Structure 1
Amino acid sequence: MDEIVERYRAHAGAFERKVAGVVPGRWDASSPCPLWTARDVVGHVVDMHGVMLRPFGRGLSPAPPVKEDPLGAFRAARADVEAVLADPARAAAAVETPGGRMTFAEHVDQVVSDDMVIHGWDLARATGQDETIDPADVERMWADARSIPADLVERLRTPGAFGPGVEILGPEVPLPPDAPLQHRLLAFFGRDPR
C-alpha cells in the first residue's frame, strides 16, 4: 500500500509541476491527444480523479473550474484522492470497478497514477516543457504494458468499449525496435514521440 501511495504522490507532484509550468498563452495549444488542448489534458486528469472516487461513493470537492484555474482544479482533485489514500481503511476498501474488484488504492494505481505520467508528457509536449519521463516509470510501465493480454489491448484500443466517448489507448505508432524505451512506451499508448 505504501508503494502505491508514494507512486501516486510522485506522479501527482510531477504532473502538478507541469501544470504550474504552463506559461500564459499556452493553455490553448494543441496536445498530442487529438482534439485536446493543453487545458483539456488537465481537465481529463481532473475528471479521472473524480472517476476514481465514484465507485467508492465519493466525488470531487468544490473547486475552481479547469477553464479558469487549471492548477487550482488539479490541486483540489489531488487533495481529494490523497485524503482517501491517507486513510488506510478507506484506501483498502474494495468495490467493483470497470477493471474488476479492487481496492481504492489499486484502482488509483492502475488508472490515474500512470495516466498522469502519459498525460504529463502530453502536457509537456503541448507547452514546450521537458518531456523526460522518469526512467524507472518507463521501465515499469513498459513491462506492465507488455504483460496486458492481446484481447484486452484490442478492447482498450476500441473507442467506446468502456463507455460512450471513452478512448483508453490510441492505435500503436510503429517505431523501429531500437527506438528508445520511452519512445516505445509512448508509441504503445498511441503517441508519436518523434
Structure 2
Amino acid sequence: MKTISELLEGAAAQAVPVVRGIRDDQLSFATPCAEYDVRDLLNHLFGVVANFRLLAAKQAVDFAASPDVVSGDWRGLFDDETGALARAWAEPGAEEGVTGGMGMPARTVGLMVLGDLSVHAWDLARATGQDYRPDPDAVERMEPGLAELAPTAREMKVFGVPFPLGPGATPFERVLAVTGRDPGWRPAGR
C-alpha cells in the first residue's frame, strides 16, 4: 500500500500540468466551486497545500489566511509547493498520531489533502478546458475516506449536497459527487 507521500506525489504529477496550463486570461473564469473563480481557487489551493504541509509536521495552521499568490512565477511555485507537501508527508511520523490544530488522525488528514489536491485540479481543468486524469491509486484511497468524512464536511460547509449519479459511475465521479460536484459540469457559454 502506498504512503500518503507517494499518493500526493502521484496526485501532484496530475495537478501540476493543469496549473501550468492555466492562461492569465482564464483567471476570472467560473469554476465548479460557485464561490471561486480560477484565481480564487488557485489561491485557496495554494493555502491548502501550505497548511497541510504544516499539519504533516504537527504544527498549527491558519485556514482563514488566504494571500493572493497568483503573481510572478505562480505556476512554478505550485510545482515547488506540491513537492514540499509530498516531502513533508514523507517525514518520519507524519502519518502517525494526531495532527496539530485539527485534532484528527494524521492519515485521515493526509487523505483530506489528497482529496483537495485531486478534486481542485479537476475543478481547474474543467474551468479552463483542460483534460485531467486523476491518479488511480489516489482515487482508490480517497474514495472511501471522503465518503466517510462527507457528513462532517457538509456540516462544516466544505462539501455540498451529494450529486446524484446513475449506475456505471467511475470511482472519481463518485468522489466528485460525494463532494457535491456534478461530474458533467461545464462552464456556461463555453
Distance 1:14 1:101, change over 3 A: same
Which of the residues 52, 56, 59 maps onto 1:57?
59
User: Gaps (5+ residues) in structure 2?
Assistant: 185-190
User: What is the distance in 2 between the residues matched to 1:87 and 1:123?
Assistant: 29
User: What is the distance in 2 between the residues matched to 1:49 and 1:114?
Assistant: 11
Percent sequence identity over aligned pairs: 31
Q: Residue 45 of structure 1 aligns with which residue?
A: 45
1:135 Cα deviation after fit: 3.7
Matches within 5 A, 1:13-162: 13-52=13-52, 53=54, 56-57=58-59, 65-69=68-72, 70-88=74-92, 91=94, 94-97=97-100, 100-103=103-106, 106=107, 109-146=110-147, 148=148, 153-158=150-155, 161=156
User: What is the distance in 2 between the residues matched to 1:21 and 1:36?
Assistant: 18
TM-score under structure 1 normalisation?
A: 0.74
| Coordinate RMSD, CA, aligned | 3.1
Higher relative contact order structure (alpha carbons within 8 Å, sequence separation ≥ 6): 2
User: What is the distance in 1 between the residues matched to 2:81 and 2:61?
Assistant: 9
User: Gaps (5+ residues) in structure 1?
Assistant: 162-166
Match status 1:173 vs 2:175: no
Residue by residue over 1:166-188, the C-alpha shift from the partner in whole angstroms, topping out at 9 and shown as x without a partner, is x3211111122333433232111
Q: Residue 188 of structure 2 aligns with which residue?
A: none
1:120 Cα deviation after fit: 0.8
Distance 1:16 1:58, change over 3 A: farther
Q: Residue 186 of structure 1 aligns with which residue?
A: 176
